[in-house]
């Protein structure tokens, strides 16, 4: 009786153990655009996993100048990525010191003017809640907006 009882509990576990050893996952990562390469890269990617699609903005943490510390800001879906785009668009029409606050990050606009210069450079500082940050200029923001808009 004991061998039958043992077999009764062991047999249902065998298929689940075999299945766990051979898991096939379909993932794909596509770079939508990389507005900046080199020492301080910035890369916007679409990540497709089975039935989920998410988006990631990869960047080098600007607070770490001695070592390369790559960070990722994840957008759970297209809607969250569109909010990022809308924030960049709103800030591009704003003034220096304007801030777009989101749940996981903030974007701040900073205009930099040199003496004797009529116009200035527009910079954006992206700060994540975990303390990591990067910055980018208006042309890079424009390229990100253009890449996100048709999605």
For 43-89, write each residue's pLDDT tens digit.
999 998 877 899 999 998 887 667 778 899 999 999 999 999 999 99
The pLDDT assigned to 141 comes to 95
What ranges do the domains of the chain cover? 25-148
Q: Which residue has the higher pLDDT, 138 or 2?
A: 138
CATH topology of domain 25-148: Secreted effector protein pipB2 fold (3.30.2450)
CB-based contact 50:60 (threshold 8 Å): no
The pLDDT assigned to 46 comes to 93
Which distant-in-sequence residues (6+ apart) come within 8 Å of 42 by Cβ?
A: 34, 35, 36, 57, 58, 59, 134, 136, 140
């Amino acid at each position: 009786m004991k061998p039958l009882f043992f077999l009764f509990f062991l047999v249902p576990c065998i298929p689940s153990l075999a299945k766990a050893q051979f898991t096939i996952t379909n993932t794909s990562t596509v770079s939508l655009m990389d507005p900046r390469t080199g020492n301080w890269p910035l890369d916007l990617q679409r990540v497709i996993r089975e039935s989920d699609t998410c988006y990631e903005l990869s960047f080098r943490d600007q607070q770490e100048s001695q070592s390369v510390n790559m960070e990722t800001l994840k957008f759970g879906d297209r809607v969250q990525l569109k909010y990022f785009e809308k924030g960049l668009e709103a800030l591009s029409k704003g003034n220096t010191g304007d801030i777009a606050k989101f749940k996981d990050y903030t974007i701040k606009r900073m205009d930099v003017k040199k003496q004797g210069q009529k116009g200035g450079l527009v910079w954006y500082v992206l700060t994540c809640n975990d303390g990591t940050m990067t910055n980018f200029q208006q042309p890079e923001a424009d390229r990100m907006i253009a890449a996100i808009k048709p999605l």
